[in-house]
């Protein structure tokens, strides 16, 4: 049967990883078709829902200025950008994944991260310091913390639009409403993709395929099967189209699964957010200022150490802990000493919030919470705070609690200065950690650990990089880095195939 479309490289997906693969393949001389399951207005997969932070290794201001070329003299003078050496990045990857991350993949990500950021800048992606979310002003100077300094101008939507605009200029074809349903393959490898385009089955012949269509977080059945009970009721932070198609197609032809299939990136998400992400709100449903307050469950007690580490290193695992609580919810509580530190997401209109002048009034406004249990606990908590230790939001300040069953290790403040604010959260799943086994060329391996000729992968569906947890900003960086490598190698494979 003659295929309806023919090209050198076909990329499945149209988010950050996919578009980086497409641009890289085009850069290496390949004709490229991109398949986007979503319609035009919902293009970009999960990338369109992110805040746009990118974690990469840099040794100081000189490296940063290779990425952000328009820093003003005032910004430079009033900011401590610090450094984030490759060794620290690699150590963070090992630490937060409990030393389970694939060391070769992690090393590749770290080593190529700055180079990839510079490459993205060359593709017209614009970057800026994350002043609003990653730096606090102390003694008249902004100081960045947690190894996360730079974001895409315009956030996730800005990244998607900038990549697509560059792709259009470079002659890359993007086909919308085109769901990949099957890989065309034989004993010699993969030769294209069968798609459903507006309900009509068609074939796209290609010399190489890059799978970059995300994880299975929007697939209720797969979530419950692999993540476990209650995951069917988790909110999906991003796109409704990431249902594991790329993973399923590859496994069907003998690809090897890899990584943490029972694990995922999951955060505290507004209790009344919709089932799937809303592009109009974007990442605003997240609630990530919990290190400066406390979180209580239905019994009115804390259940997690909100100050265990910088938010960047805990937020992606605390969604799971919230889901495990009675009723699958929690309330984040802040007093007037810290409300000025709350991120912008706490000020959106679509927020589940209560406010009270006294703790007694607050206790009866926390829907689903035992008020008496909460009042008993909050007094116990306040007595346990080491107020003799100075509070500093820019460092792990050691301001802790003493004698509590669940300690707070840093940023512990008494909850005693009204008016009080509380925000209801549940679990919002971002992406799943299990996926396909790849090597450092991003070639997909079969169950005998041999490369499947012509098949590459990038983005969320790469397995083996994240386990249990995740350092903030690493997802977009991994997608860009691995997408760039996958696209280049797919193009080289296609050239050989000619």
What would the pLDDT profile of 221-273 be if each residue is shown by its tens digit? 999 999 999 999 999 999 999 999 999 999 999 999 999 999 999 999 999 99
For residue 175, what pLDDT is reported?
Answer: 98
Q: Which class does domain 5-217+433-497 fall in?
A: alpha beta
Is residue 269 within 8 Å of 237, Cβ to Cβ?
yes
Question: CA 176, CA 174: separation in Å to the nearest integer?
Answer: 6
Question: CA 457, CA 454: separation in Å to the nearest integer?
Answer: 10
Number of helices (H) and strands (E), helices first, in the chain? 13, 22
Residue 376's H or E segment, with its range, is: helix 371-384
Q: What is the DSSP letter of 462?
A: B
For residue 147, what pLDDT is reported?
Answer: 85
Going by their DSSP bridges, the two strands 79-80 and 32-35 should be labelled as: unpaired
Q: How many Å separate Cα 465 from the centre of its chain? A: 13
Listed in sequence order, the residues at least 6 apart from 366 whose beta carbon sits closer than 8 Å to its beta carbon are 296, 300, 331, 354, 374, 422
Q: Is the dihedral of CA 483, 484, 489, 492 positive or negative?
A: positive
Q: Which of 487, 440, 435 shows the shortest CA–CA distance to 209?
A: 487
Query: If you average pLDDT over every residue of the chain, what do you get?
Result: 96
Is residue 134 within 8 Å of 310, Cβ to Cβ?
no
For residue 2, what pLDDT is reported?
Answer: 87
Question: What is the value of pTM for the model shown?
Answer: 0.93
Listed in sequence order, the residues at least 6 apart from 395 whose beta carbon sits closer than 8 Å to its beta carbon are 145
Per-residue pLDDT reduced to its tens digit, 325-352: 999 999 999 999 999 999 999 999 999 9
Q: Which of 424, 160, 425, 429 shows the shortest CA–CA distance to 275?
A: 429
Per-residue pLDDT reduced to its tens digit, 348-407: 999 999 999 999 999 999 999 999 999 999 999 999 999 999 999 989 999 999 999 999
For residue 143, what pLDDT is reported?
Answer: 86
Return residue ranges of the chain for CATH 3.50.50.60: 5-217+433-497
Is residue 432 within 8 Å of 216, Cβ to Cβ?
yes
Return residue ranges of the chain for CATH 3.90.700.10: 266-428
Per-residue pLDDT reduced to its tens digit, 194-222: 999 999 999 999 999 999 999 999 999 99
Q: Mean per-residue pLDDT for 308-329?
A: 96
Label residue 1 by pLDDT band (50, 70, 90). Answer: confident
Which tokens sit at 366? 């926390």
Is residue 316 within 8 Å of 460, Cβ to Cβ?
no
Does the domain at residues 266-428 carry the CATH identifier 3.90.700.10? yes
Q: Where are the beta strands (DSSP E) in 313-419?
A: 330-334, 353-356
Q: What is the DSSP letter of 275?
A: S
Instruction: Report H helices in 209-288.
Output: 220-226, 245-252
């Amino acid at each position: 049967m003659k295929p309806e479309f023919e090209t050198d490289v076909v990329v499945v997906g149209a988010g950050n990883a996919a578009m980086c693969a497409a641009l890289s393949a085009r850069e290496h001389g390949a004709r490229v078709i991109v398949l986007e399951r979503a319609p035009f207005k919902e293009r970009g997969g999960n990338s369109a829902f992110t805040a746009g932070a990118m974690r990469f290794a840099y040794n100081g201001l000189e490296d940063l200025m290779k990425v952000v070329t328009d820093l003003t003299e005032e910004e430079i003078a009033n900011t401590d950008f610090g450094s984030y050496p490759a060794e620290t990045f690699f150590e963070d990857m090992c630490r937060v994944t409990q030393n389970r991350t694939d060391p070769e993949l992690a090393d590749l990500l770290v080593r190529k991260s700055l180079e990839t950021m510079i490459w993205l800048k060359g593709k017209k992606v614009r970057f800026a310091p994350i002043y609003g979310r990653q730096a606090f002003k102390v003694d008249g100077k902004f100081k960045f913390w947690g190894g996360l300094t730079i974001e895409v101008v315009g956030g996730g939507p800005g990244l998607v639009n900038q990549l697509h605009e560059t792709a259009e200029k470079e002659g890359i074809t993007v086909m919308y409403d085109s769901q990949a349903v099957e890989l065309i393959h034989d004993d010699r490898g993969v030769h294209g993709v069968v798609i459903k385009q507006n309900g009509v089955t068609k074939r796209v012949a290609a010399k190489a395929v890059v799978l970059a269509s995300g994880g299975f977080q929007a697939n209720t059945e797969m979530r419950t099967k692999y993540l476990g009970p209650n995951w069917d009721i988790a909110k999906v932070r991003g796109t409704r189209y990431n249902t594991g198609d790329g993973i399923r197609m590859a496994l069907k032809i003998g690809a090897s699964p890899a990584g943490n299939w029972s694990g995922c990136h999951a955060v505290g998400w507004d209790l009344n957010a919709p089932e799937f992400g809303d592009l109009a709100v974007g990442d605003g449903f997240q609630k990530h200022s919990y290190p400066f307050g406390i979180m209580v469950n239905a019994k009115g007690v804390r259940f997690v150490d909100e100050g265990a580490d910088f938010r960047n290193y805990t937020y992606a695992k605390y969604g799971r802990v919230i889901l495990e609580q009675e009723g699958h919810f929690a309330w984040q509580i802040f007093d007037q000493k810290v409300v000025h530190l709350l991120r912008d997401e706490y000020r959106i209109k679509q927020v589940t919030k209560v406010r009270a002048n006294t703790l007694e009034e607050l206790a009866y406004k926390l829907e689903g919470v035992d008020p008496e249990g909460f009042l008993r606990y909050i007094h116990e908590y306040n007595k346990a705070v080491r107020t003799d230790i100075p509070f500093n939001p820019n460092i792990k300040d050691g301001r802790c609690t003493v004698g509590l069953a669940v300690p707070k290790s840093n940023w512990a403040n008494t909850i005693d200065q009204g008016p009080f604010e509380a925000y209801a959260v549940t679990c919002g799943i971002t992406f799943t950690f299990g996926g396909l086994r790849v090597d450092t060329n991003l070639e997909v391996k079969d169950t005998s650990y041999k490369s499947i000729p012509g098949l590459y992968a990038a983005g969320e569906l790469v397995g083996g990089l994240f386990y249990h947890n995740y350092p903030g900003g690493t997802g977009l960086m991994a997608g860009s880095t691995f997408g760039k490598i996958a696209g280049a190698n797919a193009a080289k494979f296609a050239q050989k195939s000619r």
